[in-house]
Structure 1
Amino acid sequence: MSKAKAVSKAKMESITQVVPTVPLDVRVTQWVAMLSAVVSFTLLAYYLRLYPVLLYGWYINEFDPYIRLFMTEQMLKYGTIKGLFWWLHKGYGALFTHFWYPWGVNWTVVLSPGVSWFGVLAYKVLSHLGFDLVQSVVLLPAIANAAVVPAMFYLGYRLGGKYVGLLAALWSVFSTMLLQRGTAGWFAAEPLFQFIATLGIAFYIESLIRKDNYWILFAVLSAIFNGITTWVWGSYVFLWNFYGLFTIVILLYLLIRIARRQNLPFTIDKLVITYVLTDLGFSAFVAITPRYGFHTLISGMGGVANAALLFSIIAYALIKLYPRYPRIMVPIIRYFLMAIVVLVVAVIGLSFTSIGGKFLGALAPFARSAIVQSVAEHSPSTLQQSMYNISITIPFMIYTMILSIMSLSLPVILISLGSLVAAYFASSEVWLFMLLGLFWVPAAAYGFVKLTELALNRRIVIGLSLAALLGIILAIALIVNIQPALSMSIMPQQIVSTVTPPIPTPDWLDALQWLSYNTPPNATVLSWWDYGYWIAVIGNRTSLADNSTVNGTQIALIGNFFMSNPYNYTGVLEKLNELHDPQYILIFEPYYIYGPVNMTNYGLGSICILIPEYPAGGDFAKSYWMARIAGYTNNYILNTFIYPAPVGSSTIYVPYANNTFYAAYNVTLYSLMFNSEVVSASYAVWSTCTVNNIPAYWIFEGVPTIMPGASLTSAKLTYIGIPGYNGPTTPWSLLWYPPPWAQLVYVSRPYGWVIIYKVNYSLLNALARNQTLINQ
């Protein structure tokens, strides 16, 4: 042994001897403290997510969860296991006829079973504590989303240690990326997916970093948990393809090194085997799910994922053969790298021909259909939304990516690459921030901890100063997230507040109860598709379209009817016949009652002003998309139905006709909304205006705002909207009546925002015959 080597060995031995071991009691104390923190974070997260129930009651939120509740009830008829088998056997041909009249629908081939099945499991457990089915499914999303906190601790811990885990868990409590659909009542895919997928990613990383033989167990767990995501949310395709992308990137890097005759920095056995098992997990669950089936494995994003699997297996074989046959394998690998570029482009291009709907819209925003564009959650993200979600953590994220390149750590590369790819999709569609949180939260936590460690390794003064600065940035990042998180946690469920900004009101509950008790059991209800689930599940009446949007032709027919001329009786009858003669028409239009206002200067005296879409969220605002989906061009819509008017930095839409801003006579939807019968039947208008003999007028030309007077001691009424507008020009709108074939039968209380008409087919047929005779 040389003298230099002997000295080096002695130094290493001395270093080994002086490294102190942490006493057992200290380690136990550390773990007790960490687990106590995680439990505290989890309880805080659960309390935050439970707030809607504490404030407003046991209501399911939004629209989609109601079909999940309906299918949970169907599964419960068979039991926990038999109910799942019933679903996987396509419901034995079950056809639910009070949806999508007149055809009905088999929900077991339209939806995935996971959410409803977990609802069954939740009820089986929580019923022993006295909770009924609705209460159980209301609690389930809050429980699942709070469980993301310990799952995120585990993910962060395996990624970068206990401090990364603690920070990731803490941020998970308030992260809007996780919270926005995680509150009680959101009985939908996202809260369950986020919990299951977080564990799936954690198990995937665990299998990559373990040094013992138990890594294969975690690879199997990764396959199971990632596979289960296919039963929960359609965004499983992101994870499925992302794991393939991650593996391809690593294998391509190794192949390039071989092609350049460089040494390999690590072995790939665990990497490839874990990926193969995980891909098989996805494929197995996809194949047995009626919504997808075997054809999904070779088409669309499933075809892309399995093409990545094939590439990985071939690349793995080439890399394993290289040490034995280096001279032969180097040129083969070079040709393989050239061929793979062409093959990947071809496979992706061919696969995209079978991708549609939301998936294609997320990949290529320009390819979104009108129905996809009409949903607010599919709109591109704004800078404000991005700041709400990722706050000011970008420096931490950048440092994590730098470390992934410098260290070639597979877990850090995985979490960094996932953050980059998910960030692209989140910028494309705002709802996909829920996906970004799975990667961004642990990645940013990792970057912060590593930056802090780097700072503390400097000189004491400089190190402490840098660490303090980082702590301040982290605190600001958390504070930026806390405010919108608290706002989300106190937001009322949509069934009690279907407007923006949210105003709690029982209008919809009142309307659906009226529909259930005052219409025949076989009654069919025509409405815009947003309310289909509520009508069919809560109102227990047959709807023509719903939120599944499985029949775009039917939705286009409804849009065409609403935007048709209500006094072209022949045309109305033809359109209703195309929709198989629905008996009732339901419309939702929120408005604000402003006044009484003294309008003596306009010759009106004191009046009440009714402002549609103030708050927003009704069918008037949606009428643009009704027309678009019906097939009208954008120019035709803006020159016939509605016109954009600037309001500050945003835009509102007002009815348009004959170059004058007022509610157009020739649109069925508007004539059913804005008429004297609706106004006189509204309890809110009556109690505010009519009882005092004050007339009420619809105003479309602007939004009334109290502005300070010149002396700043007085105020005046100003209309913000169309430039130069100073007062009402549509007082004659009260002379309107709904078309004679539409009989007003219900206006909701207290605000009168939900309106129901009964179609008088006898009168409509007579009017259509007379109109035909006159035209002849």
Structure 2
Amino acid sequence: MNSNSSLLSIGKFELKFKHLLIIGILSLSFSISFLIRSQPAGFGWELNEFDPFFNYRATQYIVDNGINAYFEWNDDLSWYPIGRDVSETSQVMLHLTAAVTYWMFGGGGNLYDFTILFPVVFGSLTAIVIFALVRIIGGTTAGLFASLLYSISLPIIIRGQIGWFKSEPLGLFFGTLAIYLFLSGIKSKNNKIAIGKLIFAGIFFIFSLSAWGGDQFFIVPIGIFLLTLPFLRTDHKFLMWAIPLFTSSSIFTSLAFERLGTHFIMGLGGLSLIIPTIFLIICIIIQKKSKENTKNRNGLFFLAAILIIGSTFLMINAEANFIPLPSHRYLNAINPFLTTTDPLVDSVSEHATTTIAQSFLFHSILMIFAGLGIWLILKNSKKSTLIKNDMISFSLILGLTGVYVSSAFVRLEVFASFSIIILSSLGLSLLTKEIFVHKTEINKLKNIAIKSPFVIGLIILLALPLIFPAQGNTLSVTNNPPTILNGGSAYQISTTDWNDSLAWIKNNTPKDSVIAAWWDYGYWIQTKADRATLADNSTVHTSRIQNIAKMLLNTLDNAWNSLNEMQSDYVLIFVAGQRLTVDNNGSEPLYVLSGGGDESKKQWFMRIADEPLAKYLYSDGISGTDYFWNETLLGQMIPFTPLAYVNFQTDQQSATYQPGFTAVYSKDIKFPADGNGPLRLVYSSPSFDVEKGGQVIGVFIYEVNKDYVPLN
């Protein structure tokens, strides 16, 4: 059947076979994305990671109290006793969108369940939006390839699985929609349609920024793209009003959000749109006033002057701060060499610097097709019927900037994936046209012999990342338990330790209790235990986090004084490890730690507290010294004590630390519930008593002994 064969006529619209094919492929893309993203549900029905718990609580606040109350809300469970201005420090559009869609489609069901599914739905819908975007750039075939590639992209799926009620899924959805509307608007031949698309492009662009600050990095390619338009297009009258309309729409919409507003307009983000827009207008005027043979040269001179002045201003601003700079992690993305300068940023696993091995794991086969795409785009650049010059420019700019910013953080690999998907799709589309469309004087049998291996080989190459390598393919990497079920430990198990511990806090502590814990666990405690914490995952008060780190590494008396100064009633720590299959003397359980709990984060506590690591750790950077175990509050709170050191490769044992040896621990509760020390252990989670060979996902809750009398 011919793809243009008409199947059904409805008025002037004819439903053709190719329309069914497009609908079928888009449905397949949505379904594949949905199923892969839903894998963690097999371990348990929970929100995933840390931030989603606050986002759920903020959405619940809107549902219960209304939108107006949300914008007046100071969260008194956060950063006790300071609190937190939620609308000024949060992803407002994420909360509003979730609440509105819940009112529309929730049917009065459980909001917690709704937010668990929310990222899967919007993440999968983006597969359809990216089809529309790439279709604008390179045609329907390229769009369909993009949709399929997006549905199996490992970096994107990791940041949008079931329960991942965080910024990225909605931010990417709005951001992709905004770019589609922008490119569609400037390509439109109908000015009325162009006006509508450009206005909504600006609106959705700001929506994306409000949902996810990482969408700042879409500004970079758009800003650079605007600089190229006077040289790539001749419809200057259209550009003179279309681009300012888009920029104005973005600027005015940003004023509706406290977190953006004037800070965005006068910061690097807003100026990255405003300055290229002003340049475009002036450059077009210069070109209009110039002679035909000198207009491009004069425009390039003006561009060079702007770049020199802009670079000089940025260097001066780095010292003088005329305009507000982005936060440190955004500066890291702009300049990857800053990565190791802030221990708090570096302590977050998703802020780790991307390695070459990770890039190949994430993108593998797509890197080949992206390179092929760049080559074919440039090779066919003079064939205006394929891809217009301005779309070629945008694709290449997006590709280069996406790969660049992703080199700073693993988290930003979504931008590399996004840009590589677009380039790969264009490459595959052009390659497919080369093989299938061009007429050649060969018989039917030879035609099949050429095309069939191409199709089979293409399917194999695209399916390969789904199944290979065995422990590093897309399906296996994305099949992990929600974080609260394993505490974010290194063990791929599902336990009730954290849920039981949080339920214990909620049911057994006074409602006005204040919990001291490392900031990783703040949102869990606030949301599931309904108790105030000293710090949480928003990290808006870094000095408080530093004080908590110092408290954990301080001597017992000084730490007790710090806890009282911070008005803490309880202290929570998390320890992950594994019980060995043999016991000491046949009855004493033995354990190895370093499973991803506080025992594995202590080196970051030391860096954040600006303490010398050698004072607390041996040369391996993991094993605690005698001073750590005997003199620090954290060492005393961990209910284990090093018993010996073992080299598991040679079965050698040592009573003291030796390089290459691993500490083996026995249980040792230093602050019993009936003790007179500065703390009392009032709760330990179930896996503390795990059977031989089992994993410990240990949550330990200590009550601050207000009657303790320091010895000095």
TM-score, structure 2 as length reference: 0.86
Conserved 8 A contact 2:623-2:663: no
Deviations 1:358-406 (A, max 9, x none): 1112112333411111101111112232123212222321233334443
Pick closer, same or farther for the CA change 1:622–1:700 going to 2, 3 Å.
farther
Secondary structure at 1:319 match in 2: helix
Taking the aligned partners of 2:170 and 2:3, their CA distance within structure 1 comes to: 41
Other-structure match for 1:133: 111
Matched with 1:309 is: 277
Q: Secondary structure at the match of 2:571?
A: strand
Whether 1:76 and 2:63 are equivalent positions in the alignment is yes
How far the C-alpha of 1:532 sits from its partner, in A, is 0.7
- Which of 492, 501, 509 lines up with 1:502 in the alignment? 492
1:400 and 2:373 are equivalent in the alignment? yes
Q: Does 1:642 align with 2:617?
A: yes
For residues 626 and 210 of structure 1, what CA distance do their matches in structure 2 show?
55
| Counterpart selection for 1:665 from 600, 606, 630 | 630
Report the Cα distance in structure 1 between the residues aligned to 2:647 and 2:482, rounded to whole angstroms: 26
Distance in 2 separating the partners of 1:471 and 1:184: 32
- How far off its partner does 1:207 sit? 2.4
1:440 Cα offset (Å): 2.0
CA distance in 2, matches of 1:470, 1:382: 32
1:341 lines up with 2:316 in the alignment: no
Q: Cα 1:161–1:341, aligned 2, differ >3 Å: closer, same or farther?
A: closer
Shift of the alpha carbon at 1:71?
1.2
The equivalent position to 1:747 in structure 2, one of 663, 668, 684, is 684
Q: SS of 2:16's equivalent?
A: helix
Cα distance in structure 1, aligned partners of 2:316 and 2:255? 21
Mapped partners of 1:476, 1:330: distance in 2: 43
Give yes or no for the alignment of 1:106 onto 2:85. Answer: yes
Question: How far, CA to CA, are the matches of 1:619 and 1:277 in structure 2?
Answer: 51
Question: SS at the partner of 1:391?
Answer: helix
Q: Distance in 2 between matches of 1:428 and 1:30?
A: 42
| Structure 1 unaligned residues grouped into runs of 5+ | 1-19, 255-263, 646-651, 676-696, 708-715, 772-776
Structure 2, unpaired ranges of 5+: 8-13, 383-387, 689-696
* Alpha carbons of structure 1 residues 37 and 303: separation in structure 2 relative to 1, 3 Å: closer
Output one character per residue of 1:459-487: Cα deviation in whole Å (capped at 9) or x when no partner: 75699658835852563243214563323
Q: Does 1:294 align with 2:262?
A: yes
Are 2:213 and 1:234 aligned? Answer: yes
Within a 5 Å distance, the mapping from 1:688-767 to structure 2 comes to: 698=642, 701=645, 704=648, 734=668, 740-751=677-688, 753-763=698-708, 766-767=709-710
1:409 to 342, 365, 389: 389
Q: 2:625 aligns with which of 632, 656, 665?
A: 656
Instruction: Indicate the residue corresponding to 1:468 in structure 2.
Output: 453
Structure 2 letter corresponding to 1:146: S
Tell whether the 8 Å contact from 1:56 to 1:492 is kept in structure 2 after alignment.
yes
Q: Is the Cα contact below 8 Å between 1:61 and 1:495 reproduced in 2?
A: yes
- Counterpart position of 1:123: 102
- The reply on whether 1:277 has 2:250 as its aligned counterpart is no
The counterpart of 2:523, out of the listed 533, 543, 564, is: 533
Aligned equivalent of 2:327 = 356
Asked whether the 8 Å contact 1:532–1:543 carries over to 2, the reply is yes
> How many angstroms apart in 2 are the aligned matches of 1:241 and 1:577?
47
Taking a change above 3 Å as real, the CA distance of residues 245 and 748 of structure 1, as seen in their structure-2 partners, is same
Q: Which residue, 237, 245, 248 being the options, matches 2:224?
A: 245
SS in 2 for 1:151: helix
**Counterpart in the other structure of 1:61:** 48
Cα offset, 1:99, TM superposition: 1.1
C-alpha distance in structure 2 between counterparts of 1:146 and 1:741, whole Å: 51
Percent identity between the two aligned chains: 23
Contact preservation (8 Å) 1:612, 1:698: no
Does 1:199 pair with 2:192? no
Structure 2 distance, partners of 1:69, 1:672, is: 31
Partner Cα distance (1:740, 1:725) in 2: 35
- 1:560 aligned residue (513, 527, 550): 550
Distance 1:22 1:376, change over 3 A: closer
The amino acid of 1:759's aligned partner reads V
Amino acid across the alignment from 2:34? Y
Change (3 A) 1:343 1:735: closer
Name the count of aligned residue pairs. Answer: 668
Bigger shift: 338-347 or 57-66?
338-347
The structure-2 alpha-carbon separation of the partners of 1:722 and 1:503, relative to structure 1 and needing over 3 Å to count, comes to: farther
How far does residue 518 in structure 1 lie from its aligned partner after superposition?
0.6
Residues of 2 paired with 1:28 and 1:455: CA distance? 24
Q: 8 Å contact 1:171–1:478 — kept in the other structure?
A: no
Whether contact under 8 Å (2:336, 2:407) holds in the other structure is: no
CA distance in 2, matches of 1:466, 1:346: 55
Deviation of 1:282 (Å): 2.6
Distance 1:97 1:606, change over 3 A: closer
Shift of 1:166: 1.7
Deviations 1:58-86 (A, max 9, x none): 3111111111111112212344xxx1x55
CA change 1:669–1:724 in 2 (3 A) is closer
With normalisation by structure 1, the TM-score equals 0.79
Amino acid at match of 2:271: G
Q: Structure 2 vs 1, CA of residues 43 and 612 (structure 1 numbering), >3 Å: closer, same or farther? A: same
RMSD over equivalenced CA pairs, Å: 3.1
Deviation of the 1:520 alpha carbon: 0.7
* Aligned residue number for residue 163 of structure 1: 141
Structure 1 residues 507, 276: closer, same or farther in 2, change over 3 A?
Answer: same
Match in the other structure for 1:520: 510
Shift of 1:563: 0.9
2: distance between equivalents of 1:727 and 1:559?
25
**Cα deviation per residue 1:617-636 (whole Å; 9 max; x = unaligned)?**
2111111111111122xxx2
Quote the Cα distance in structure 1 between the aligned partners of 2:233 and 2:705: 78
Aligned counterparts of 1:542 and 1:265: Cα–Cα separation in 2 = 57
SS for the counterpart of 2:74 is coil
**Post-superposition offset of 1:163:** 1.8
Instruction: State the match for 1:444 in structure 2.
Output: 424
- Cα contact 1:745–1:757 (8 A) shared by 2: yes
Q: 1:331 to 1:472 in 2, by over 3 A?
A: closer
Higher mean Cα deviation, 114-123 or 200-209?
A: 200-209
Whole-angstrom distance in 2 between the partners of 1:544 and 1:727: 34
Counterpart in the other structure of 2:579: 593
Are residues 303 and 52 of structure 1, via their aligned partners in 2, closer, same or farther at CA, if it must alter by over 3 Å? same
Q: Which of 358, 381, 401 is 1:421 aligned to?
A: 401
Label 1:65 to 1:702 Cα distance change in 2 as closer, same or farther (>3 A): farther
What residue number does 2:568 align with? 582
Could you report, residue by residue, the CA deviation over 1:490-520 in whole angstroms, capped at 9, with x for unpaired residues? 3211111221232211111011000001111
Per-residue displacement from partner, 1:22-57 (whole Å, max 9, x unpaired)?
A: 55459701211221221132123223323333x234
Secondary structure of the 2:618 match is strand
The residue that corresponds to 2:20 in the other structure is 32
State the alpha-carbon separation in 2 of the partners of residues 27 and 243 from structure 1.
36
Distance 2:186 2:435 in 1: 29
Contact 2:647 2:661 in 1 (8 A): no
